Structures are given as C-alpha cells and as structure tokens.
Amino acid sequence: MKTELVIDLEAEKQEILKRYRALLRASKSTLQRGDKKEIRKAFDMALESHKDMRRKSGEPYIYHPIAVAQIAAEEIGLGTTSIVCALLHDVVEDTDITLEDIEREFGKKTAKIIDGLTKISGVFDTNSSLQAENFRKMLLTLADDVRVILIKLADRLHNMRTMDFMPRHKQLKIASETIYLYAPLAHRLGLYAIKSELEDLSMKYLDPDTYKFIAKKLNEKKAERALFIKKFVEPIDEIVHEQGLVADVYGRPKSIHSIWNKMKKKNIPFEEVYDLFAIRIILDSAPENEKADCWKAYSIVTDLYRPNPDRLRDWVSSPKGNGYESLHTTVMGPRGQWVEVQIRTQRMNEIAEKGFAAHWKYKESTNDNGLDQWIQKVREMLNNPEANALDFLDDFKMNLFSDEIFIFTPKGALIQLPLGATALDFAFEIHTDVGATCIGAKVNHKLVPISYKLQNGDQVEIITSNKQTPKEDWLNVVVTAKAKSKIKSSLKEEKRKIAENGKEILERKLKSLKITYNTDNLNKLSYFFKLPSTQELFVNVALGKIELKDIKEYLSSEKEIETRGPERPENLSVDGVKSKIKGSESDILLIGEDMQRIDYTLAACCNPIPGDDVFGFITVSEGIKIHRTNCPNAAQLMANYGYRVVKAKWNKQQELTFLTGLHIVGIDDVGLINNITRVISTDFKVNMRSITVDTNEGIFDGSIMIFVNDTEHLENLIKNLLKVRGVTGVTRFDA
Ligand code: MN
C-alpha cells in the first residue's frame, strides 16, 4: 500500500515565516543598524536553496537552519554574523551555492566561517576509529574563528533534539560522538545548559532504559518535591526581600545524566540520591555590590539552615577556569535532608548558562582583542604535539577568562601560570622537589627572591639548596593550587613528625607526674591549653611551649575544669575562628572588640609589621588575616565586607621578627654593598632573607628582604642606611 503525503504548502509557508520572526525576536538585543537586512538576506538565500529539501521527519529543511540560528542567538548569545552563518551553514555542502557566492554576498568573514562549518561535517563521515584525532585536527584548523565551533555546537544540539526519525544506527553514532566529544567541548567552553542537554539527549538514545527509569522516578515524586522546595524557599525568599535584596529563589532539577552519574559513582539506588535538585538564588545586583550581596544571601540561608562546612565552594572570589562564578553551600533541610544552594547574580548566571559569549557581553570594551587572544590560546593548546588526542579532551583546560602568563624555562620551554604567580609557583610547576628546595631564582638573569611576581615572557631559572625545606609563610607567597597543596602536605608531614616526637615526651612527663596517659586526659589537657586537637598538644610539647610546670598548673586546676562540665571553648564573637592563647612571648596582636589573643596570619599583600596601623579581616577558609590599613586591598575589603572586619592592635614587648622589604638606590661605589650589609647585619643585627642588586651605568638599585621587630626598628635602620656613603634613597616596599 502506498501512503500519500499531503502537504498544505500555504500553511507551511506561514509556519516558516512565523519561525523566522521568532528568530528575529530572539536576536533583538544584539541587532544594530542594517543587521536585520543581512539576516533577511541570509534567510532568503537559505530558503531558496533548500526549497526542495525535507528533513527525515518530512518537515521543510529550512526549519533546521532557522532553529540553529535561534540556538546561537538565544542560548549562546551570539550576534548577527553568527546568525547569518547559522542560517547558511548547510548551503555550501548541500546545495548549488558556492563559497564564492557567499563571499560576494556577505563578505570574507562569513565565507570563512561557513567554509569551516562545511569542512567539519566531513570529518566524521570516514568510518575512522581516530575520531578524537580528527576532532583535534578539526578544531586546530577551524579555531581561526571560534564561532565555527559555537555554531557547530548549536547545529549538533538541534540535530540531537530532532533525532527521533533517524535510523537506529545513526542515532547511536551521533549520540556517541555527542557524549564523547561535543558535551566535553561545551563544558570547556562554559556552556553548562547546552552541555547538560547534550548529555541527557545522548543518554536518551544510548541508554534508553535507564533514561526512562530515572525520568519516571523523577516524575513520580514531582509534586512532593515541588512542595518541599516551596516550603524550603519561602523563609529564604521572605528574609532576602526584607533585607532589601532583589532575588529570584527557586528549585532547579538536576539533569538525568548527572543523577545517573552519581548513582554509578557512589553505587547507590535512585532513592539515595539526595540532591535531585538544587536551590538557586539569583540576585539582581549592581556590579559593585555583587560579591557582598552573594555573601549576604549566604548568611541568610545559613542562618535558616545549618550548613555543612565542608561543602562551601566560593567561585565568586576565584572563578573556575571556564569563567563560572557562583557560591555553593550544602545545608540541612527541615526534614534532615541535605540541600545544595547555589547563590549568584544575574550576570554570573548568564555566564554559567551561556558561557563564553555572555562573558564578552559583559566586558567593558567591545573590541575583539580578548577574543583573539583566546583563539590564540586554543591554537597553542591544540598545537602541542605532546598531547595525544585522547588526553587532549581532558587537557582542554581553556582557562578562558582568568588571566594567564607564559614563562620560559632556561631551555626555552613554555610554562603557563596564572597572573600573580611567583618564582616559587614556577619552581613547584617544574617539579615538587625543585619547589621544596627553592631558595631563589634568576629572572632574566637577575637574582630575585622566591616571592618575586613573574611577568609575562620572563625567563626563569630556579636556584635550589638541599638545606631548604618548605616554610609556613610560603603559603602566602604562592598562588597556584598545585604549589599550595604540595607545601601544605609537606608541612603536614613535618608537623606529624614533630607531633610524634612530642607524644613521646608528653608520655614521659605524664608518667613522672603519675597521670595516666589516656585519651580522656589528653583531651582534658588540650582543652586546658585551649588547643584544637591532641596533635596540636603534642606539637606544643615538642616545641617546648608546654613544659612540666604548665602541666603541673593543669593538675592544680583540674578540679575546677571538671566541675565546669562539658562546656567547650565558645565560638568567639569574631566568629567561629579558632582561638588559642599563646605563650606570653607571642602576645603580639590583640584582636576584636575585647582585644582577645587569637590566631591570625599576616596578609601577603601588605606584610604588616608591629607598629603599622592594622585591621583584621575574617576570611572564609583561612581564619583572620591582618592587613595594614593602607594596604592596596584595604578600601575594597572594608567597603564591601564591613561586617567581616575586626579591630586589631599590636601589643608591645615582644621580640618576634617580621619580613619586610627595603628598596635602596644610590651611586655605585666600591664597597657599597659591604657597607650596606654591615649596617644591616652587624650594626642592627637584622637577618636578611634575600638581596637583589642591579647596577647599571653607575646606578645602584637594590632590594633587600629583612626581618625586623617593628616600625620603630625599621625606621632607625632606614635612617642609618641613609648615612652610608653613596646611598641616596631608602624606601620600604611590600613583597
Ligand atoms: Mn546542520
């Protein structure tokens, strides 16, 4: 039997125009003068050249390019050139129209992009097992214009959305390519919404049973979940608005694919996946209030629901490599269930969903400079001959928006580091051992301290010494995650060794005092010395900070402690920051309204020393940081996070030393360096950490890192250095 296809051509024409107008509406925000005409011209050309073609579903072919253009405009945020190219993306391949025709009508740029799009479709047609390799080559030749890749993603997304009419074997092939190549690519480009949809659609074809199973399960509890979300969100919504924030608070289901991943990874049934949805708080904030508003919202949420301290993710302060900015926390919901809450502003949300293109929209300048740089970086990455094609996708770390610098090794190899990275970061990047034993570096053949901030294009040679070991303050010197974690683990190891030693000493001491060595007594001792753990107790014993007489003191007060009951040291008013009273020799800083002695670290940005005007700032993960009030970051911190600022004041009478820098200029003279170091080391008995000297045509220019007690000490030293013959200026600088 023959089935006849009856098509109402007039109705179809109306439908095509309707879809075209929807496209225009979607692109409205980016349209400039004359753009509408260009889009119309492209639409007419596509309509005419595809006029006799139909898709597998029987629909007119033109629906497809219109849909691809709409995705490009609406879901990726691309502009007119891309819309024109999307409309024409299949004409050269499938119709009589040539590239020359396109170039004549729309110009060189458009022709080049369409050429790229045409070439891509050929890549997968060969039945090659080397798809990843092909994909890499394709990106390499086509990264000329990143829009080729973005439009290709839009094309792929629409094909995936409309794959029902394809034969099964084609569905499988296309879905595999998508999950293997296109979804990771979308992820790297920061196109989260498209990435999730591509993954879900792939799963729908590759693993239909599981897909349907999870979809059904999700659907069953939909009403119950909606009610839960409503109850959870209501109080947040109320207080957020009370506090004058403009926000949209809602629940958002997780994708089927991500739920399945979790089930597989944790080996749990559907019922045990707790985060089937996340709560989103999308703030409407003025640019200057973004960060403060996010933290305000965070504070509201965690006042209502108890947060899991291990699950705070602050991508607002340091965005992900692909530009993602958001504050994530996981809190305990009213029914004892963990709920993830994502807090961000509308701008951050748009970048989270649309990625790359949205980011440029918010950039101040509209020139294509940043875009060019990005493309250049993609090329460099793709060109790396060492990357094999499969690793390539994993290494596809396009730190799109974070600023990076390129540093040369002495042999000319290129190392990529984040802006602000120091010589020490570089050392750790080369090798853990190089980092751990680093004492300095030669940058462009000039000696610099480990804290030297590298500049793009520097050539760096690391100087090591086998006597060197990682130090606590190195954590303030490095910025890369790699260096930080290596230093931390080395310090931890060191501490473990010290603690072991302390444990033995303590055991002996307790024995001599006839105190039983057991957990209970160790806990009591830790509590008495206000130490957060028994490990800290061991360390303090090993370092001689807790001596026999101190333990005796504990013995005499033990009764008192016991009658006080199980009370633990209170969270201090300066909020959950662990306090510890130290020996009198280190009572150097008093913090908070009642001037308590609390643990703190000195900020690396301004290196405060006693005598400086300072304030404390409560950081999210590193306790209290002390900044100078004239620190370059001070104004911004105090303006945006007034509520996190605490008073701090130096206590006199101590002998600790602090690292600071002196910049000395003068006329080069025989013995000048000797005279300077004599004043520093012999006259003032000040320890030097490093000296960098540059003499150029008789001008002496030196930087010395020294350890001083306080500002008075420093000022005296400066006065005396100025008396050295040849020295014309001495100024303090921060590392
Ligand atoms: Mn297509």
Paired sense of beta strands 614-618 and 414-418, if any: unpaired
CA of 370 to the centre of ligand 1 (A): 29
Q: What is the per-residue pLDDT for 128?
A: 40
Structure tokens at 422: 């120091």
Range in 301-310, 327-336, 475-484, 645-654 the model is least confident about: 645-654
Q: What is the per-residue pLDDT for 233?
A: 93
For the chain, the average pLDDT equals: 79
Average pLDDT of 265-272?
84
CA of 90 to the centre of ligand 1 (A): 6
Cα separations (Å) of 336 from 197, 205, 227, 231, 339?
Answer: 31, 36, 16, 14, 9
Res. 390: pLDDT tops 80: no
**pLDDT confidence bin for 293, thresholds 50/70/90:** very high
Cα angle value 537/538/540 (rounded, 5°)? 65
Average pLDDT of 536-549?
86
Q: What is the per-residue pLDDT for 359?
A: 57
Domains of the chain, by residue range, sit at 2-206, 216-365, 370-488, 569-650, 658-733
Q: Tell me: the pLDDT tens digits for 39-60?
A: 999 999 999 999 888 888 888 9
Do 185 and 396 touch, CB atoms closer than 8 A? Answer: yes
Res. 583: pLDDT tops 50: no
Do 380 and 298 touch, CB atoms closer than 8 A? Answer: no
Do 148 and 113 touch, CB atoms closer than 8 A? Answer: yes
**pLDDT confidence bin for 474, thresholds 50/70/90:** very high
Res. 559: pLDDT tops 50: no
Q: Tell me: the pLDDT tens digits for 211-249?
A: 999 999 999 888 888 899 999 999 999 999 999 999 999
Max CA pair span of the chain: 110
Range in 45-59, 68-82, 130-144, 639-653 the model is least confident about: 130-144
Q: Of all residues in the chain, what percent carry a pLDDT higher than 90?
A: 23
| CA end-to-end distance (rounded Å), the chain | 86
Average pLDDT of 442-460?
85
CA pair distance 571, 10, nearest whole angstrom: 75
CA pair distance 400, 735, nearest whole angstrom: 28
**Catalytic site includes residue 94:** yes
The one catalytic residue among 59, 93, 207, 613: 93
Q: What is the per-residue pLDDT for 4?
A: 57
Res. 316: pLDDT tops 70: yes
Q: What is the per-residue pLDDT for 322?
A: 63
The residue type of 343 is I
Average pLDDT of 576-592?
48
Average pLDDT of 391-413?
54
Range in 143-157, 323-337, 543-557, 590-604 the model is least confident about: 590-604
CA of 556 to the centre of ligand 1 (A): 83
DSSP string, 520-533: HHHHHHHHHTT-SS
Do 165 and 174 touch, CB atoms closer than 8 A? Answer: no
CA pair distance 420, 520, nearest whole angstrom: 47
Q: What is the per-residue pLDDT for 558?
A: 58
CA of 361 to the centre of ligand 1 (A): 26
Average pLDDT of 404-429?
83
Select the CATH number that applies to the domain covering 2-206 from these four: 3.10.20.30, 1.10.3210.10, 1.20.1050.10, 1.10.510.10. 1.10.3210.10
CA pair distance 666, 726, nearest whole angstrom: 5
Q: Determine the topology of domain 370-488 in CATH.
A: Ubiquitin-like (UB roll) (3.10.20)
Q: What is the per-residue pLDDT for 547?
A: 82
CA of 166 to the centre of ligand 1 (A): 14
**Which is higher by pLDDT, 112 or 335?**
112
**Which is higher by pLDDT, 151 or 530?**
151
Q: What is the per-residue pLDDT for 357?
A: 56
Res. 366: pLDDT tops 60: no
The one catalytic residue among 94, 587, 668, 701: 94
Do 702 and 679 touch, CB atoms closer than 8 A? Answer: no
How large is the C-alpha radius of gyration of the chain? 32
Predicted TM-score (pTM) of this structure: 0.51
Q: Tell me: the pLDDT tens digits for 628-665?
A: 877 777 766 666 666 677 778 777 655 567 788 898 88
The two counts, helices (H) then strands (E), for the chain are 30, 19
Q: What is the per-residue pLDDT for 588?
A: 66
Range in 48-52, 185-189, 275-279, 524-528 the model is least confident about: 185-189
Cα angle value 179/185/188 (rounded, 5°)? 125
Strand-pairing partners, residue 416, are 406
Average pLDDT of 254-281?
87
The residue type of 7 is I
CA of 86 to the centre of ligand 1 (A): 8
**Which is higher by pLDDT, 584 or 637?**
637
**pLDDT confidence bin for 74, thresholds 50/70/90:** confident
**Which is higher by pLDDT, 210 or 142?**
210
What CATH number should be reported for the domain whose range is 658-733?
A: 3.30.70.260
**Which is higher by pLDDT, 514 or 452?**
452
Structure tokens at 576: 């959950």
CA of 607 to the centre of ligand 1 (A): 58
Q: What is the per-residue pLDDT for 670?
A: 72
Question: Do 370-488 and 216-365 have the same topology in CATH?
Answer: no
Q: What is the per-residue pLDDT for 639?
A: 63
Res. 735: pLDDT tops 80: no
Select the CATH number that applies to the domain covering 216-365 from these four: 3.10.28.10, 3.30.460.10, 1.10.40.30, 3.40.50.300. 3.30.460.10
Neighbours of 38 (CB within 10 A): 19
Average pLDDT of 338-367?
71
Q: Residue 610 CA to chain centroid, in angstroms?
A: 33
